[in-house]
Amino acid sequence: MSYTEVPGVNVPIRMWTDPAAVEGQAMQQLRNISSLPWIAGLAVMPDVHLGKGATVGSVIAMKGAVCPAAVGVDIGCGMSAVRTSLTTRDLPDNLTRLRSRIEQAIPVGRGLHDQPVDPRSLHGFPTAGWDDFWSRFDGIADAVKWRRERAMQQMGTLGSGNHFVEFCTDTSGSVWLMLHSGSRNIGKELAEHHMGIARGLPHNQGLVDRDLAVFIAQTPQMAAYRQDLFWAQEYAKLNRTVMMKLFQDVVRKEFTRAKVSFDDVISCHHNYVSEETYEGQELLVTRKGAIRAGSGDYGIIPGSMGTGSYIVRGLGNEAAFNSASHGAGRKMSRSAAKRKFGVRDLEEQTRGVECRKDSGVVDEIPGAYKPIEKVMAQQTDLVEVVAQLKQLVCVKG
């Protein structure tokens, strides 16, 4: 579909979904965003839903300013996926042991590694730049420097919430590895630190929503935020890289006879800031729950833990600031999902998937999410499908 343009305050709101289907609070958030003095454009993805300050599924282009809440607290959160040489013919009937070994290799929830992962121990890990990355930790905000040891131990861990590791198959029978995670606790603390600073700045006092507070270009506060932001985005990417190597090592050991090989890894952020140029203007583009989908860019759009996911290639639609959705998007809150569904519903909706089926993950039940097929149908002018995946194993945080 093409977008529907809804009037905003300072810019129109371009929506790749039916505006009538968007919850009232989310629409008000979008109007609030459109009222920011620095706004240059606003695109809304089909997985849009209510967020903290800024709406999830929004692409916000600003001139000379950036809004920390439009990135979110999980700076650099995103996806990685890789096709393997395995096919469904190589797989046993029971994948319980594989799931157990994944969980042993990759800490989930609040778990962390007993000792920081040594990248030199990981098969094929690109170690160039690793020491330089950690040396730059000394330059981040003083308020979080005491978290260094924890940040190192959390490198290569999944986290909780909607984060996951999946062992999937595509429609041709090829096996894929996929995972979803971000910058862990260090990214969250950096985000909250800078959001607090932004809310106190004089130029933000008259905003309709103080959570939309911004940093302005060529100020010390902006410089400090950008330094920490880009470091946290790099942490998130490295975190996924370490996890993918750990995942690949598990698969190699589990399928020794198959001598598994892997294609190049596809990786994309979906909570981040990027410097981009549109119509001759240099803009700061914030994607909160959206991926970059420039012409030829590969991306990953997951559904829920019982449905499936898509590997896509961007079509370069500049009306959407070269973006697409980051997933199916929630249609109800976690608390609402827990009220509506129980363990039996979870068991039914994840039938055929080796995964947790207990009360601790009911809030991630497929019924809490929008239908991924509908979300994909609403963005055919943003991406083309390269592969359609269905999970066989899902490890949740």
Show which residues are catalytic: 326
Q: Which two tokens stand for residue 275?
A: 């410097």
**Structural contact between residues 270 and 291, judged by C-beta atoms closer than 8 angstroms:** yes
Q: Cβ-count burial of 213 within 10 angstroms (0-12 exposed, 13-18 middle, 19+ buried)?
A: buried
Q: Which two tokens stand for residue 156?
A: 């290569």
Spatial CA neighbour of 166 closest among 211, 99, 227, 215:
99
Cα angle 218, 222, 227; round to 5: 115
Contact 288, 331 (CB under 8 A): no
Provide the phi-psi class of 383: left if phi over 0, else alpha when psi is between -120 and 50, else beta: beta
